[in-house]
Amino acid sequence: MQQKPVIGIIGCYREFEGEPTHVVKARYVTGVREYADAVPVILPGFATASDAKDVLARLDGVLLTGSVANVRPENYGGPINARGPFDPHRDETTFALIDAARKLGMPLYGICRGLQEINVALGGTLRDQRDQSEHAVAHHAPDGVGLEEMFAQSHEVDIAPGSNLAHMLGAGHVEVNSVHYQMIDRLGDGLRVEATAEDGVIEAIASRDGWPLLAVQWHPEWRPEERPHHLRFWSDLGEVTRAFLARKLMAGQRAG
Q: How do the domains of the chain map onto residue ranges? A: 6-255
pLDDT in tens, 8-31: 999 999 888 999 889 999 999 999
Residues 112, 117, 155, 230: which is the catalytic one? 112
d(C-alpha 208, C-alpha 190), whole Å: 6
Res 148 pLDDT > 90: no
User: Of 92, 117, 194, 221, which is the active-site residue?
Assistant: 221
140 is catalytic: no
**What fold does the segment set 6-255 form as a domain?**
Rossmann fold (3.40.50)
Other residues' Cβ atoms within 10 Å of the Cβ of residue 203: 30
Nearest one of 48, 46, 50, 61 to 5, comparing CA atoms: 61
Residue 129: the pLDDT is 74
Tallying the residues shown for the chain, one arrives at 256
What backbone phi and psi angles, to 5 degrees, belong to 203?
-110, -15
Q: Cα–Cα distances in Å, from 164 out to 122, 134, 161, 211?
A: 19, 31, 9, 12
Q: What is the mean pLDDT of residues 168-172?
A: 85
Give the CB-side neighbour count of residue 166, counting CA atoms within 13 A.
Answer: 11
Asked if 128 and 82 touch (Cβ cutoff 8 Å), the reply is: yes
Predicted confidence at residue 137, as pLDDT, reads: 74
For residue 254, pLDDT over 60 is answered with: no
Residue 32 neighbours by CB under 8 Å, 6+ apart: 7, 9, 38, 39, 40, 63, 234, 237
- Provide the pLDDT for residue 130: 64
- Given pLDDT bands bounded at 50, 70 and 90, which one contains residue 255? very low
Q: Report the C-alpha gap between 215 and 47 in whole angstroms.
A: 21
pLDDT tens digits, 73-82: 999 888 766 7
Point out which residues pair with 10 in neighbouring strands.
43
What is the model's pTM? 0.93
Q: What do you get for the CA distance between the two ends of the chain, in Å?
A: 22
Question: Does the annotation mark 112 as catalytic?
Answer: yes
Based on the residue annotation, tell me whether 221 is a catalytic residue of this protein. yes
Q: From the candidates 89, 155, 180, 219, which is the catalytic residue?
A: 219
The whole-number pLDDT of residue 163 equals: 94
The rounded mean pLDDT for the chain is: 90
Q: How confident is residue 146, by pLDDT bands cut at 50, 70 and 90?
A: confident
CA 210, 168, 25, 91 torsion-angle sign: positive
